[in-house]
Amino acid sequence: MTVEHPDAAAPAPSDFIRDVVAQHVAEKRYPKIVTRFPPEPNGYLHIGHAKSICLNFGIARENQGQCNLRMDDTNPVKEDVEYVDAIVNDVRWLIDGWADHCLSFKPKGAVPAATTVDGRPDHYLAPVPFSPAAEPFFASDYFEAIHDFAVQLIKQGQAYVCDLSPKETEEYRGAPDRPGKDSPYRNRTVAENLDLFERMRAGEFPDAARSLRARIDMASPNIWLRDPLLYRIRHTAHHHAGDKWCIYPLYDFAHCLSDYLEGVTHSICTIEFEVHRPLYDWILSSLRLPRPPPHQYEFAKLVLSYTVFSKRRLLQLVQDGAVAGWDDPRMPTLAGARRLGIPASALRRLATSVGVTKYESVTDIALFEHIVREELNAAARRRLAVLRPIKLVLTNIPAGEVVDCEAVDNPQDETPTKRRIALTREVFIESDDFAEVPPPKYFRLKPGGEVRLKYACIVRCDEVVKDAAGALVELRGTADLTTRTGGPNADRKVKGTIHWVSADRSVAAEVRLYDRLFTVAEPGADEDFKRHLNPRSLETVTARLEASLQEARPGERYQFERLGYFTADAKDSRPGGLVFNRTITLKDAWKAPGGA
């Protein structure tokens, strides 16, 4: 069954960034709209990143443009190829079937060739579609070009080598309300700076002994204009660039130039970079580049209630063993969400429905849950499964006899398909669906009461069998076969309908019942956020599934009727040993009195 992605047909969203892009398109300012998604490969992508990914790829998609996936890998000490691979995988999963045609990679191993335009360096790497011979863009591929730009700034007297230690640099920088003071090395000659910078590159100096700085204004009210560092010395090999370098550009210098080199037109980032924008513009305009420079736009990142997104905290959860890894289904990472069974389309819909603004807000997790249920309701086949089985013996059905029943795969389908399930003398029902002393308005099974077994018939509970200790052993009852679906009394109404499986025509399986990882709406607001961890975020049960579920494939999603949506775990499922993850429960409007 194929379900059209609802977001494929949805009208393009509108926000202040898209308004700007639309205007630029109208005035034909650029030959093509080019955006980029630039994660640093130092952790896994999370749902917050989905907002940025959908914004950048969405804009490319809506304007027949392209979006580059670029590793912002300028700090080798924090990064790793493990993260590069995970990021590529997650991005491709998120945009598959939606904006994958806008995803631009580069030929594997390619490094931009230096050319000269108007006597100035100009490196432009033409993008290629994803293929086995392609890889994402890497800022580290531009190190040679970025170095050349640094040399140009030095020659223009706009950058200098500074010998101040990190601590001294901090002191000289001043404070937001107090101007900084000039470095004593600020007025070195061009020749001296050129010599020193090349010796930095050659590895003559130890880490942090010198740095390359932009020469702007130490009294600027904007901290980022007070002679910011452009290059630092780090005698560390790089996961992508190898051991070629011992000087690495900092974010502010590398990012704007990477954007420029890739032909990015709209460089979209989060609001903490707003104060960096004057520096972004200063660098690009100082270089007097032949092509029109990109511009930076900022938006507020996604904050979701009941979850944390900061890499620091997510890393802590992984390292402390609070979860089983970056892809633990409880993690808000894309890898975790995927394993939990969240469809990529739900993430995309969340990303667009929260809007794009300049003020930070907290999105209620209930909105996300609503979207997930809506996607799954349309797409997931229904199955019967009993999480916590209790036995019900239907005494009027002889042992060995099979009553054939027909069940609908998904009533939401236009032409629903059906399957057969077997009703036998012994069935399992949900322990929640029987109450010896029922609360008011209890529609389910009680002694002497009746319920309908979904897709089968109405049954009555005649007897409650207990052991010597008073614990429930089994229920005994009778089936009214005349009320079978399609039977003469099929229309007979009873208040409750419950799910069930045949005792011997069902299979046992591990089912992991996941719940929110945190118990409070804003766990991240508390430095000691781990005390808000939900002790019941995972409960594992051995459930009984209807026989047809044996054929479930890893990653497949089902609705277990009346319970929720469940996905066959792609990592721990084995042939004959399926593991299901509860993606999300069904909405449940019934409130048992007294919390029963």
Distance between CA 206 and CA 234 in Å, rounded?
A: 8
Distance between CA 347 and CA 310 in Å, rounded?
A: 18
Q: How far is the CB of 303 from RNA (least distance, A)?
A: 8
94 and 103 in contact (C-beta within 8 Å)? Answer: no
Q: How far is the CB of 115 from RNA (least distance, A)?
A: 26
Which burial class, exposed, middle or buried, applies to 181 when counting CB atoms under 10 A from its CB (0-12, 13-18, 19+)? middle
Between 175 and 471, whose beta carbon lies closer to RNA?
175
Distance between CA 274 and CA 535 in Å, rounded?
A: 39
Q: How far is the CB of 312 from RNA (least distance, A)?
A: 9
409 and 418 in contact (C-beta within 8 Å)? Answer: yes
Distance between CA 404 and CA 384 in Å, rounded?
A: 15
Q: How far is the CB of 590 from RNA (least distance, A)?
A: 4
112: DSSP letter: P
List, as one string, the DSSP characters of 126-191: --B---TTEE-EEGGGGHHHHHHHHHHHHHTT-EEEE---HHHHHHHH-BTTB-----TTTT--HH
Distance between CA 475 and CA 428 in Å, rounded?
A: 10
Between 316 and 485, whose beta carbon lies closer to RNA?
485
Between 328 and 409, whose beta carbon lies closer to RNA?
409
Q: How far is the CB of 101 from RNA (least distance, A)?
A: 26
Between 61 and 255, whose beta carbon lies closer to RNA?
255
37: DSSP letter: E
Q: How far is the CB of 102 from RNA (least distance, A)?
A: 22
Distance between CA 192 and CA 159 in Å, rounded?
A: 12
Q: Give the chain's end-to-end CA distance (angstroms, integer).
A: 38
Distance between CA 533 and CA 152 in Å, rounded?
A: 52
SS3 587: coil
List, in sequence order, every residue forming a beta bridge with 105; answer none if it has no partner.
128
Q: How far is the CB of 82 from RNA (least distance, A)?
A: 17
Between 160 and 455, whose beta carbon lies closer to RNA?
455
Distance between CA 477 and CA 463 in Å, rounded?
A: 6
Angle at 518 between CA 562 and CA 350, to 5 degrees: 65
Q: How far is the CB of 454 from RNA (least distance, A)?
A: 4
3-state secondary structure 354-375: CCCCCCCCEECHHHHHHHHHHH
Q: How far is the CB of 581 from RNA (least distance, A)?
A: 18
Between 201 and 382, whose beta carbon lies closer to RNA?
382
Q: Residue 251, by phi and psi: left (phi above 0), alpha (psi -120 to 50) or beta?
A: alpha
Q: How far is the CB of 452 from RNA (least distance, A)?
A: 5
Q: How far is the CB of 22 from RNA (least distance, A)?
A: 8
Between 167 and 574, whose beta carbon lies closer to RNA?
167
Q: Cα 303 to chain center, whole Å?
A: 13
Rounded to whole angstroms, what are the CA distances from 193 to 118, 138, 153, 279? 24, 28, 10, 21
Between 100 and 374, whose beta carbon lies closer to RNA?
374
Between 229 and 464, whose beta carbon lies closer to RNA?
229
Between 107 and 496, whose beta carbon lies closer to RNA?
496
Between 12 and 508, whose beta carbon lies closer to RNA?
12
Q: Which residues contact residue 237 at a Cβ distance below 8 angstroms, ignoring those fewer than 6 apart?
A: 76, 243
Between 96 and 588, whose beta carbon lies closer to RNA?
588
Q: How far is the CB of 117 from RNA (least distance, A)?
A: 27
The closest of 121, 140, 143 to 287, measured between CA atoms, is 121
439: DSSP letter: P
Between 328 and 558, whose beta carbon lies closer to RNA?
558
434: DSSP letter: B
Q: How far is the CB of 596 from RNA (least distance, A)?
A: 10
Distance between CA 283 and CA 375 in Å, rounded?
A: 45
Residue 475: HSE in the Cβ half-sphere, 13 Å Cα cutoff = 27
